[in-house]
Amino acid sequence: MVISMWKNLLQTTKERILQQRRMSVYNQAHGYEEELVKKQLQQFAGGSINLTKEDSGIGILTLNNPKIMNAFTGTMMLELQERVTELENWKDGKGLIIYGAGNTFCSGSDLKVVKAISNSQDGMNMCMFMQNTLTRLMRLPLITVALVQGKAIGGGAELTTACDFRLMTPGSEIRFVHKLMGLVPGWGGGARLVRIVGSRAALKLLSGATRVDPERALHLGLSEETLSSSDEAGALEEARAWLSQYTEGPASVIQATKEMVAAGRELLLEAALRTEKDIFGTLWGGPANLQALATRPKHK
């Protein structure tokens, strides 16, 4: 009976953590009608968001619209949400690399979409949709890396900030060009940038629409490393190798580690501590823990 109660408690904890991960920033209480937004975005077709899940537990998410520097069409925004849902349910997943086809990352929104939804309410709807999606991406129980080749500008720069880490290739750049379009970031990139580089550096990058090359990105803490390869295949292989040093071990432990860090980042201290306790409880006495106790002498 005690074992049965423990299993039920464990399952309840896992379900609650999953529910928190999928929680939207915006819903009907904020005047957000997702089905109506989806119907509108569906009108703007082109490109695709492709996902490959490798046996190693690393996923490869490809932004595929190279004719316009992988700019997001409406259907690509919808597909990104679908891919995020798929990744949330990937029990064997450990890490994710996001990169753009054709040796460039992403140039933000397709200008055809921007011009077609140029009134304030339509813009707000798209903003809320993408903030919901990128917040869920940020909360994935996977260690995520943006592989920046070529240009990551506008919404593309914002997308990089939804990842845990950024790797850049020689000659690449990250640039928040929103000011030049008479805008500020709308996909959550401004708030996330402040958390990554601090308010002073973020203000400079946003108000100056500054081109951030790999050297400056390293200095700011916006990038972890400059890769040696510039070609797509070589850079992707380097990114896999870089990520694999953090994804060795059971998927349950990697996912729990990411969830604990995400809680510490987003929650107040007491709530973060309770979440850490709950996550700890899902692992203690579990298969990975018992195997480690049986095979790893302590203090060596």
The label of the residue with tokens 């813009």 reads 123
Give the pair of three-digit tokens for residue 295.
């095979």
CA-atom Rg of the chain in angstroms: 20
Lookup: tokens for 122:
């339509």
Work out the angle at residue 165's Cα, subtended by the Cα atoms of residues 88 and 261, and round it to the nearest 5 degrees: 60
pLDDT block averages, 10 residues each, the chain of length 300:
58 62 79 92 97 98 98 98 98 98 97 90 94 98 99 99 99 98 97 98 98 98 97 97 97 97 96 96 93 79
pTM score, two decimals?
Answer: 0.92
Q: Give per-residue pLDDT as tens, 26-50.
A: 888 788 899 999 999 999 999 999 9
Residue-level pLDDT at 31 = 82
Q: Quick one: pLDDT at residue 30?
A: 85
Helix, strand, coil percent content, the chain, rounded in steps of 5: 55, 15, 30
Alpha helices in 90-227 (DSSP H): 111-116, 120-138, 155-161, 189-197, 199-207, 214-220
Give residue 117's Cα distance to chain centre: 25
In this prediction, residue 28 carries a pLDDT of 82
- pLDDT at residue number 300: 62
At position 249, the amino acid (one-letter code) is: G
